[in-house]
Amino acid sequence: MTVRERFLTVLNGKLPDDRLPMIEWAPWWDATIKRWEGEGFPQGLNFEQSLQYFGLDELHCIGCSPHTPPAPGHGIGVMANEEDYDRLKKDTYPDIAIEWLINAAKNYKSRHDNGEIIIRIWLDGVFWFPRRLFGIEPHLYAFYDYPELMGRITQDLCDFNLKALKELFKIIKPDFVGYAEDMSYNHGPMLSEDCFNKFMLPHYITLNDFCHENGVKTLVDSDGDVTVMLPWFIKSGIDGVYPLERQANVDIAKIRRDYPEFIMLGGYDKMVMNKGEDAIRAEFERILPVMQSSRYIPSVDHQTPPGVSFEQYKTYVKIFEEYCIKAVL
């Protein structure tokens, strides 16, 4: 099977005939690569070359994000009210961003059509993007202090995302859409279900319906404990979620029992990767029943941290392949 065939087989509820996909869904931390280069990893490799070096399947992300001015600091916004948004809006949703997306898709098209690579499209989500505008804390108040403005922003974003998807689908159909959200932390969601229903649900339905009409799955990228939100996602038409962080007590076995049709990606506890071969293997044993259930793409539950040595990561990849084969036997 090709890399792409293998991936889509799992997303569609079946098991490949050789092994499960072996992916890193996001590039490694810069500090991780810097450490590895001091331990024998070839210097200067890009993400694609690094995947090839380790023998991993190539999953590439192409994105289309609205433009915002540089923030003055982490978590600090670039606007405070409707007047600010009116001033920023003329430059926020540029056609050039969609042109960049299309050019990236054209560069990957041949390899994607041949099944050599998997393509994920990154879209700013309707929780994620207003936070970039308001800043972390003011954004949470804005649901209540500026509901009409929040409605405008989320509608404008939805229109921009839909326009991007329509243009992209003329060139390629990505293997899944990933909405960047990060709307939960280790104790659950950062917003209420009422806020989700009012500000997010209609736009998810619009985008998901369009994607499904074109045969494309949609997944939400949110750190933290997403468990409470899963029914919210499902009613919006979202097909799955990632990265399923073990440190936030996400239980992928329980999710599989409760939602057998739901797609999961991630779920492997990154915190065991520097504890030796026995610990790495034990973590694969923990998730093996879910690997065997299909609709689950095993992967590290976030980028591999710099506490993992080059040799430890090579051990992880070796055992990863072993269990991806074991899961389909």
Domain ranges for the chain: 3-326
Looking at residue 50, what is its pLDDT?
97
Residues (pLDDT < 50) of the chain are none
Do 266 and 299 touch, CB atoms closer than 8 A? yes
- Tell which CATH classification among 3.20.20.210, 3.40.640.10, 3.30.930.10, 3.40.140.10 matches the domain 3-326: 3.20.20.210
Q: How far apart are the first and last CA of the chain?
A: 15
Looking at residue 27, what is its pLDDT?
86
Angle at alpha carbon of residue 12, lines to 10 and 15, rounded to 5°: 35
Looking at residue 162, what is its pLDDT?
98
165-203 pLDDT, tens per residue?
999 999 999 999 999 999 999 999 999 999 999 999 999
Looking at residue 317, what is its pLDDT?
98
Looking at residue 112, what is its pLDDT?
98
Alpha helical stretches, state H, the chain = 3-11, 30-37, 47-54, 82-92, 95-113, 128-134, 136-145, 147-169, 193-195, 201-213, 230-236, 252-258, 277-291, 310-326
* pTM, 2 dp: 0.96
Strand 263-268: give its sheet, edge to edge. 59-64, 118-124, 176-180, 217-221, 240-242, 263-268, 296-300
With b meaning 16 or more CB within 10 Å and e meaning fewer, what string describes 178-204? Answer: bbbbebbeeeebbbeeebbebbbbbbb
- The burial of 57, by beta-carbon neighbours within 10 Å (0-12 exposed, 13-18 middle, 19 or more buried), is given as buried
- The burial of 89, by beta-carbon neighbours within 10 Å (0-12 exposed, 13-18 middle, 19 or more buried), is given as middle
Rg (CA), the chain: 20
Looking at residue 45, what is its pLDDT?
96
